[in-house]
Amino acid sequence: EVLGGVAGEIAVRELLADITSDALAKYPNPLEKDREIAASDPTKPAGKQAKKKKSFLAELRGPSEEELKKFPDADAWVGVFPEPVRQTQRSVAAARVRVSERRILAKTDSEVRLQLRKLKASQMTGGN
């Protein structure tokens, strides 16, 4: 049966709301875990993440002279990482994508449900 008018709009919105809810429910990790992974340092293997974050000022200053002396050719290493680091980079990138997808799906779900409530209220009051 094909519905038209407001009833058809409501049916389509209900279907879309169900689809977005199902999509959000099928993510393997909780949102908090994906956010934690997405915020981690992609240049360190997953098990070696530092618990203490650098201060903003320390990040602005960059490495000290002493640290630079330990790795004289460090600039030659840029982009050349061992496999565990590359795996971490992929994991971090994937987590960032999942967080973005969830944000979009949640916004879509919220918007569709709002429109659905408005349509149902409009239908009940007999308005347009």
What's residue 62's pLDDT? 62
Distance CA 85, CA 47 (A): 10
**Can you list the positions of beta strands (E) in the chain?**
none
Write down the pTM of the prediction.
0.63
Residue 19 near residue 105 (C-beta atoms within 8 A): no
Domain boundaries, the chain: 5-125
User: Could you tell me the sign of the dihedral formed by the alpha carbons of 47, 103, 110, 5, in that order?
Assistant: negative
Per cent of the chain over pLDDT 70 is 73
Distance of alpha carbon 122 from the chain centroid: 35
pLDDT in tens, 34-87: 999 888 887 777 665 555 555 555 555 666 777 767 766 665 555 666 777 778
Query: DSSP string spanning 46-60?
Result: GGG--SSPPPHHHHH
